[in-house]
A and B are shown apart, each in its own frame.
Chain A
Amino acid sequence: MKKQQQTEALPGTVGEGLKQRGVTRREFLKFCTAMTAMLALPPAMASVMAEAISKARRQSVIWLSFQECTGCTEAITRSHSPTLENLIFDLISLDYHHTLQAASGEAAELARTQAMKDNEGKYLLIVDGSIPMGNPGYSCIAGISNYDMLVETAKGAAAIVAVGTCATYGGIPKADPNPTGAVSVADIIKDKPIINVPGCPPIPVVMTGVLAHFLTFGGLPEMDDLGRPKSFYGDTIHDRCYRRPFYDQGKFAQSFDDEGARQGWCLFKLGCKGPVTYNACATTKWNDGTSFPIQSGHGCIGCSEPNFWDAGPLYQALSMPVSATPSMLAKAAAVGAAAGVAITWHNRSKKAAAKAAHEKVTVQELKREEK
């Protein structure tokens, strides 16, 4: 790799940057192989990815944080693979990020607008947090409403990556009654390609995997109906869960920490939403493959799905009703009884009337006169 002198302190290409940091070619190729596998690409792609990433110019990235809890940022910055994900991250030109940037105030906003101008049409826009439409005052940055900032910044973006369920589908702020009028990025931006990376938060390596795909191929990965990359969101938790054999055998934990729970049996009865949740938790897991909620004994809450917070009680099985109660049934039965009493009264009157109208049958009246 040729050394190119840039005016900036940082190296010009990703490959140079890696070399500067002392990442060996071998380590880098190992990373690319792992990433290739994770993206469900053929093994031969590893070298293609290595070539492309090392030659890639540092991608300008603007990260907008709206109505969010900062959990997505926290997740991504957990450096559990000591060098690689962070390195990839460092070698992107992260031109604007509230939590991570050094600048603040007008200087910060200037960095954003400058990056937008310098990289017009080419920068990647990452968004986390929902956008409140109820009142712009609910969430502003430097006096600019989230909506205005999103629309303005999206104009020159090559693509948008909505990170976290808030940005992809509205998330927890959108939960009933949605006091702020929270909406997702896709509800507002209709004219740019959007990759949705939901999760509350998303798995860190899923984030970087999507970026790696973008860096390697310059385009969007194959996505499902909800705009999620199929390589990470193609299967449900249920279909990849290591406890699935217990579901199939009908072995369930009945309550937290009971015998079945200790045996590691299926958590369906404890409200696990695994069957209807698409994410990579069951395979990729969290904290560098340490565990995921089900493995820790808690059912999946479906956090990468739209409106998951309103999709029924968290600790009631998927097959349980969301809001029906025994008292509702009792009331319905009472209504039926009231109607039944009315109909019985009507029926009996009719029958009594028929009885009263009974004309005694005589042998003369067994025939029709007209016959």
Chain B
Amino acid sequence: MSATLEKGLNAFKEVIDAPIASYFSSCVHCGLCAEACLFHNETGDPKYTPIHKLEPLRRVWKQEYTLLGKLGKMLGLTKPVTDAELTEWEPLVYDSCSMCGRCSMVCPVGNDITYMIRKMREGMAASGHAPEDLVGATTRAVTIGSPMGIKWPAVMAQIKHVQAETHIEVPVDKEGADYLVLMSSMEIINFPEYLSALSRIFKQAGVSWTLAQDAFEATNSGIQIGASDLAREIVGRIVVAAERLKVKCVISPECGHAFTAIRWEGPNLMGKPFGFEVKHILEVLDELHTAGRIKTRGKDKRPLTYHDPCQISRRGGVVEQPRRLLGAIAEDFREMPDAGVMNWCCGGGGGVSANSRAEPLRLEAFKVKKRQIETTDVHTLVTACANCRIVMEEGLEHYHMKVDVIGLTELLVDYLVEGE
């Protein structure tokens, strides 16, 4: 069995719905979406205009679902979408788009271009036009359990390390716990501070939580590559585990697309609403802090700023929570220009960071982040997505900038009042 053009075109036909039909009908070619896109702005290349990235999907819509298009197709006046075209469009759809959502915020006629990119990737993936690296990551996520190939033994090793450090037991497969905690591969490998921070915070707050052996991975390559069948399989593991363990709430970790996958796409992929809540760790921390279940003492003296991860902030609605938390623990918190829901993407979301072919473009797009940080004049950057952390660390190194990037959870725990 193989990917075929026919499967891809079929997928295009499947995903086109009323919103997409409305969006394509409304586009007036004003080009404002380009001005919102960091890939276009930092390269000046018009081919990175967001709506242009959707051209093959638009043609399928026109030819299949409009009267004039159908007539044109019948009379042989239309150009069918070809493999060559999809090959040409592959870097536009994957390398130059992180599904950050800025274009969807600025389109004057209201087009949600990001939504359409996500849908278009269904056809790209099914026709074999997804980037090789993403195919690899997704294959590992499905067959091994995580895109970076991490298996439970590796997680166990980290758990042991964390337990030794904190002297707090990390619960695994504890039925009836309030929260099911997920992690992203990045955190497991690169940022074990996250798990140790959670242990300490939850102990202080008196929160019952657990990990799940068969559902520890939060990231969802299926979303990034755009294959719902695979995304469903990946997110299904979490749902099964959450239901089995009868938790009240699943916590999505410091990862952008993981939040999108479980919080917003999850129920729709599974075809039924969840019996449990889903929250981002920032939401949980903010709730606990506001309720007084965790307290902080002292403030970080470093001038610092916050980078809004796109899937958490603009596409997820978690905007004020990190600011409230930083307000409590930072003496000199400065907002960067365009902070909040209009913040600029780190450039690595949506599968771009996993795509080695996209690296030069991603590093060029990083210039917008570079300017933001320079304008804010800080050397400490706080964020809540492990992918953003890695991407920004790479970008900062590339441009020889001395800026520390830290996760908010791990910063919070430095000022946590414990034991009282």
Contacts and interface: CB of A to CB of B under 8 A. Distances in A.
B142 interface: yes
A351 B13 contact: yes
A363 B1 contact: no
B2 A369 contact: yes
Interface residues of A, number: 23
B128 A361 contact: no
B128 A368 contact: yes
Nearest to A340: B67
Given A350-B13, A357-B10, A361-B229, A366 B67 contact: no
B143 interface: yes
B230 A361 contact: yes
B67 A367 contact: no
Interface in B214-228: 225, 227-228
A363 B143 contact: yes
Nearest to A347: B65
Nearest to A364: B1
Contacts of A361: 7, 125-126, 227-230
Interface string A336-371: 000100010011001100110111111111111111
A355 to B, nearest CB: 5
A343 B16 CA distance: 15
Interface in B122-176: 125-126, 128, 130, 135, 138-139, 142-143
Given A339-B67, A365-B2, A366-B130, A359 B7 contact: yes
B388 interface: no
Interface residues of B, number: 28
Nearest to A369: B2
A341 to B, nearest CB: 12
Interface SS of chain B = helix
A336 B1 CA distance: 44
A369 B130 CA distance: 14
Contact of A358 (B11, B130, B230): B11
B135 A366 contact: yes
A148 B378 CA distance: 104
A339 B70 CA distance: 14
B14 interface: yes
Nearest to A368: B128
Contacts of A362: 1, 229-230
Contacts of B11: 354, 358
A362 B65 CA distance: 28
Contacts of B14: 351, 354-355, 358
Given A355-B14, A361-B230, A370-B2, 15 more contacts: A343-B67, A350-B64, A351-B14, A354-B14, A358-B10, A358-B11, A358-B14, A359-B7, A361-B126, A362-B1, A363-B135, A366-B130, A366-B225, A367-B3, A368-B2
Interface of A: 339, 343, 346-347, 350-351, 354-355, 357-371
Q: Sorted from nearest, which 10 A-B pairs have the closest CB atoms?
A: A369-B2, A354-B13, A368-B128, A363-B139, A361-B229, A354-B14, A366-B135, A361-B227, A360-B229, A363-B142
18 contacts: A351-B13, A351-B16, A354-B10, A354-B11, A358-B10, A359-B1, A361-B126, A362-B230, A363-B138, A363-B139, A363-B142, A365-B2, A366-B3, A366-B138, A367-B2, A367-B128, A368-B4, A369-B2
